[in-house]
Amino acid sequence: MDNLDLDVLKTALVWTEAGRKATLGTVVRTWGSAPRPIGAMMAIRDDGQVIGSVSGGCIEDDLIAQVKDGKLAATRPESVRYGVAADQARQFGLPCGGTVEMVLEPLTPLSDIRGLLSDLEAHKIVKRTLDIETGVSRRGLAEGADVLSFDGQKLVTIHGPKYRLLIIGAGQLSKYLASMAILLDYQVTVCDPRDEYQEQWHDLPQVTMTKEMPDDRVIAMNLDRNSAVVALTHDPKLDDLALMEALRSPAFYVGALGSKANNDKRRGRLLEFDVSQDEINRLRGPVGLDIGAKTPSEIAISILAEMTATKRGVTMTRSKSEAAASEASSAGCVLAEP
């Protein structure tokens, strides 16, 4: 869930608890070049105030006017489409004839937005099912395969941090990486069995801290395709076994700090653990994009940038790993640790 969508829910709750009427809009289908993705949300107050967006500004004025006048979703949820015809696409500014379908839900106590927010504050991933006929919503814990769906009668939405990040090591760089990942809505776990690194984390209550051996934590988390693992300790006893388990998982991103030379040695060690060459090829090491990062905060940015590109399926023309390999080859030198 994007931070903006969380703000939509919080603001809508404030409005309704102050005695105002509010309508929640959720994008459920798009065709063509629709400006906002499926799941995007906005809330409309009874006086026309809004938060969030379902089209980047293309159709909001018409939507607000119709909701405010009671022409849409006045008493119960309903769906509406914009941009079906070419002239409507031109009228509402939808690019390339794009079409947006959304569900509009007048918020009532049956919507249970407070309960949903309570679950989200507890870092749960929630499956919310809305009955279009009655306006009653139900909540439960989402499974890994659950996605937004709408069949005309029930709207199923998934809320909460959809991506998880496991950081091996609790040093200074890890703290920068964890802090920035939280802003990107990752559910962050930091694993480090060393006592001397635990004290500095008290001011980040959103982070789950564990002193297990990292490979045990990787196994326990049952990593899925929405998971990322970054090893930052420089200690093979902590990093290597965890990376071995992570590379065998469906995790979309597995990275390790260190120079090209040290990561080449790490790859050799992983081969001795019977990790396949294809699995080893998934390792991002040196970790991060080549943005000239030097400080811990800059290195954290480079890692999250590479994670974001990988998550979005974007192939970068030159990664930090590729740059390090090229520079080392041309200079005939061994790179120092960052």
Residue 58 contacts residue 93 (beta carbons within 8 Å): yes
* Alpha helices, DSSP H, located in 152-284: 172-183, 214-221, 236-247, 260-272, 277-280
- Cα 116 from Cα 110, distance rounded (Å): 12
Report pLDDT for 146. Answer: 79
pTM of the model as a whole: 0.60
According to the model, what pLDDT value does residue 326 have? 44
What's the pLDDT score for residue 55? Answer: 76
The confidence score (pLDDT) of residue 302 equals: 97
Contacts 24+ apart (CB under 8 A), 86-89: none
Q: Is residue 69 helix, strand or coil?
A: coil
| Residue ranges, the chain, pLDDT below 70 | 1-3, 32-36, 56-58, 84-98, 144-145, 317-338
Which residue type occupies 317?
T
pLDDT for res 270: 94
| Domains of the chain, CATH where assigned | 3-159 (no CATH), 163-325 (3.40.50.720)
Neighbours of 120 (CB within 10 A): 18
**Which stretches of the chain are assigned E, i.e. beta strand?**
22-31, 41-45, 50-52, 78-82, 99-106, 126-131, 137-141, 149-150, 154-159, 163-168, 186-191, 208-210, 227-231, 253-256, 283-284
